[in-house]
Structure 1
Amino acid sequence: MARKVAVLVAGSWGTALASVLADKEMNVVIWTRNESQKDEINRLHTNGRFLPGVTLSPNLTATTDMHEAMDGAEAVVIVAPSAAIREVTRQMRPFWTEEMLVVHATKGFETESLKRISTVIAEELECEEGRIVVLSGPSHAEEVVKRCPTTVVVAALDDSEAIRAQDLFMNPYFRVYTNRDMVGVELAGALKNIIALGAGMSDGLGFGDNAKAALLTRGLAEITRIGAEMGANPLTFAGLAGVGDLVVTATSRHSRNWRAGYMLGEGKKLETVLSSMGMVVEGIRTTKAAHTLSDKYKVQMPITQQLYQVLFEGLDPRTAVEALMGRDKKTEMELMSIETWETWHK
C-alpha cells in the first residue's frame, strides 16, 4: 500500500511539493478550500491558476475535506500563506496524531505576534517546537514541477525529525540537506523576501546590475544582523536558505516578490500591484514584521526601513534609494555586534 502524505494548501509551492512526493509513488492528497480547484486537479490533473501548462501526477488528488486529507497520513506538509497558518493548523488539529511528521514550507511571520511559523504551528498542535520541520531554500515552484535540479534544506530542533523529512522528499532531482539551525533557516527564508522586493524595485527603476548587486550584498548583511540577534547561526545565511534563496528570489521573474517590487519601481501603487498579482506577496507582510523586529532588537535595517516607508507611508522609491546612498560612512564589516560574534565563537 502506498504511503500517504497530506499537503495543505493547493497554491503553487504546495502543489510543487506535492508533485515531488507523488513522483516517489506516494499517495498525495492536497487540501484546498476551493471546490472548483479540487475538481480541476482531480479531473484534469492541472492547477491552472498557479501552475499553468503543467500536468500533475495521477498520484496527486485533491479534497476540500480536512479529515479525508489527514486520515492515515504519515506526514503533513503545511504550505499555507503566513496569514492563514494559524487557522489552517487549527483545522487540521483534530486529525493530527503524534506519529505524523509535520513539515512547513511557509516563508514569513505571523505579523501580529511576530512569531515564527514553526512557533505558531506548535502552539496550535500543542506540541514541542522540536516536532516541527521547516523546508526552505532556492526553489521556484515553476521549475520544481518541471523536475529541474533543485536543492533545499530541512531544519528541526530534533535531528531525527529533520532526517525523516529528508528521506520523505529526497529524489533524483530534488536534493535535500539537513540543518540544525531551525531559527536561522526559518528567518532566512522569510527575510530574503524583503530584499527581493527591493531588487525588483531597483530593476523597475532601471538602476542596473551594479545597484542590484550592492542591494543583495548589503541586504544579506542586514538580514544576518537581525537573524543573529534573534538566535540564528550567522553561517546559515551563507547557505541554501540564506544566500541561495536570496539570489533566486531577487533575480528571477518567477519570483512574485521581485515582480511586485518591479511594478512598484515602475511607479504603480501598492493596491494596484497586489490586485494584479492575484497571489500572496509574502515580502510585504514580512517587511512590516521586520520593521518592528528591528526596533525591538535595536538592529539597524536600513533597506527594510526604506522599503517600509515606500510600502506603507507613500515614500517615492527614488527618494528611498537616495536616502540609502546618502547614509553616513560605514565600514563594510559592521555586520553585527562584537557580543554576538563572541557568543557564536564560544
Structure 2
Amino acid sequence: MTDIAVVGAGSWGTTFAKILVDAGGDVTLWARRSEVAREIRETSRNSDYLRGINLPSSLTATTDLEEAVASAHTVYLAVPSQTLRENLEAITPLIAPDTRLVSLMKGVESGTGLRMSQVIHDVTALPLERIAVISGPNLALEIAKEQPTAAVASSVDADTAAAVAKQATTAYFRMFVNYDVVGTEFGGVLKNLIAVAVGIADGVGYGENTKASIITRGLAEISAFAAAFGAEPHTMSGLAGLGDLIATCESPLSRNNTAGRLLGQGYALDDVVRRMNQTAEGLQAVTPVLELASSRGVSMPIVMQVQQVLHGELDPAELAPHLATDSDEPQGE
C-alpha cells in the first residue's frame, strides 16, 4: 500500500519524493512521461531533471495516476501552476475524502488569481483543514545533494501542518510550521517575480548594488502586497519570505533568475520559454499578481517593470530599482 504520492516528476517533485522516502515514507511518484517513470524505476535516476543524483531504491514511479494516488493518505502536488486545475480534476475522483493534499507549487492561477491552496479547495471541495502548502529557500538540486536547508509547512489546521512537517523532516531537510497560508503562498509566488527582475539586471551586466537594491525594494513590495491580503507581517521575514527571496534571487539554479538573465541578455520572451527546460513560474505570475495588486490598491513598480520587459515595452537596461520608490519616501526598509 502506498502511503504517499507525489504528482509531478520534475526537479522539485522528484527531489521532494526523495525527501519523503528518506524520512521513512512509502512513496510513489507520478510522471507524465513514460521514459521518466521507467528510468526512475529501473535505475533510480531522473537524468532529465536531476542529473547525477542517485534516488532511493525504494522510490517507485508510474504514469498511472490511479496507481499513484488511490491508496495514498497524503498527495503532494508538484505540477506547473497553470495545469493544477486539470490535474486535480483527474485526481479528485481517485482519492479518499480524508486524503491530505499538499501544494509544493509557487504560482497564482491565471484568470482567477487564486492561490494554489484555493484552487485545490475549489476543485476538490476538500475542507481547508485537509490542505497544506510547503515553501521556503528550496533549490531542488542542492537539496537532492542533501545540502542542509529548511522549509515551512503551513495549514489552517495545526494537526495537518504538524503531520506534513513530520512526514518531510530528514537530517538535511528541516520543516517548521506556521498557520499563515496566505503569507506562505504569496511569499513563494512574489519572490519569483523579484528574482526575474534580479536576473534581468544580471543579464544586462549590472552589479551587486543594483541587484541588492532590487532585492531590498522587492521585499518591501512583497510585504505590502501580502499584508493587503491578510498575511502576517512576520511571515515575510521568515523562510517563506526573505529566505526564499534570497535563495531564488542569488542562485543560478533558480529558473526565475535564469529566465530574467536571458531577458536581460536580449532574448525575447518566446525564446526564453523555449530555452527553459522547466517552467519559470514567475513569468506566468506577473499579470495575475499585478491584477490582484490593483484590486487592493498596492503599488508594485518593480513587478510592473518586469511586465514591461516581458511585453517588449521596456529595454531591460532601463529597469531601475530606484523607480520603486518616490524620492521623498522615508527609506527605512
TM-score bracket relative to the smaller structure: over 0.9
Contact 1:73 1:100 in 2 (8 A): yes
- What whole-Å deviation, never above 9, does each CA across 1:78-137 have from its counterpart, x for those lacking one? 111101111111111012113322211100100110001001001111122232100000
The alignment status of 1:127 with 2:122, answered yes or no, reads: no
Please state how far the C-alpha of 1:323 moved relative to its aligned partner.
7.7
Corresponding residue SS for 2:177:
strand
Contact 1:26 1:59 in 2 (8 A): no
Written as runs of structure 1 = structure 2, the 5 A alignment for 1:92-111 is 92-111=91-110
Contact 1:116 1:186 in 2 (8 A): yes
Contact 2:201 2:319 in 1 (8 A): no
Aligned to 1:245: 244
Corresponding residue SS for 1:249:
helix
Aligned to 2:62: 63
Corresponding residue SS for 2:93:
helix
Corresponding residue SS for 1:318:
helix
Paired amino acid for 1:104: S
Aligned to 1:284: 283
- What whole-Å deviation, never above 9, does each CA across 1:170-200 have from its counterpart, x for those lacking one? 1111100000111100000011000000111
Q: Do the aligned partners of residues 233 and 209 (structure 1) sit closer, same or farther apart at CA in structure 2, a change above 3 Å counting?
A: same
Distance 1:221 1:323 in 2: 13
Moved more, 186-195 or 89-98: 89-98
RMSD: 1.6
Aligned to 1:273: 272
Contact 2:217 2:321 in 1 (8 A): no
Aligned to 1:196: 195
Distance 2:163 2:47 in 1: 31
Written as runs of structure 1 = structure 2, the 5 A alignment for 1:141-156 is 141-156=140-155
Q: Do the aligned partners of residues 159 and 325 (structure 1) sit closer, same or farther apart at CA in structure 2, a change above 3 Å counting?
A: closer
Q: How many residues are aligned here? A: 333
Please state how far the C-alpha of 1:324 moved relative to its aligned partner.
2.1
Distance 1:215 1:176 in 2: 29
Moved more, 43-52 or 151-160: 43-52
Give the alignment's TM-score, normalised by structure 2. Answer: 0.96
Corresponding residue SS for 1:29:
strand
Written as runs of structure 1 = structure 2, the 5 A alignment for 1:154-303 is 154-303=153-302
Give the alignment's TM-score, normalised by structure 1. Answer: 0.93
Contact 1:101 1:164 in 2 (8 A): no
Aligned to 1:343: none
Distance 1:204 1:172 in 2: 36
Written as runs of structure 1 = structure 2, the 5 A alignment for 1:37-56 is 37-56=36-55
Contact 1:25 1:59 in 2 (8 A): no
Query: What are structure 1's unaligned runs of at least 5 residues?
Result: 336-346
- What whole-Å deviation, never above 9, does each CA across 1:196-218 have from its counterpart, x for those lacking one? 00111111111111111111010
Distance 2:287 2:322 in 1: 19
Distance 1:293 1:73 in 2: 35
- What whole-Å deviation, never above 9, does each CA across 1:301-323 have from its counterpart, x for those lacking one? 01011111111243211223288
Aligned to 1:305: 304
Query: What are structure 2's unaligned runs of at least 5 residues?
Result: none
Percentage identity across paired residues of the two chains: 38
Moved more, 77-86 or 21-30: 21-30
Paired amino acid for 1:83: Q
Please state how far the C-alpha of 1:276 moved relative to its aligned partner.
0.7
Corresponding residue SS for 2:236:
helix
Distance 1:132 1:33 in 2: 23
Distance 2:114 2:92 in 1: 19
Distance 1:85 1:12 in 2: 17
Contact 2:200 2:316 in 1 (8 A): yes
Please state how far the C-alpha of 1:52 moved relative to its aligned partner.
0.9
The alignment status of 1:81 with 2:80, answered yes or no, reads: yes
Please state how far the C-alpha of 1:285 moved relative to its aligned partner.
1.0
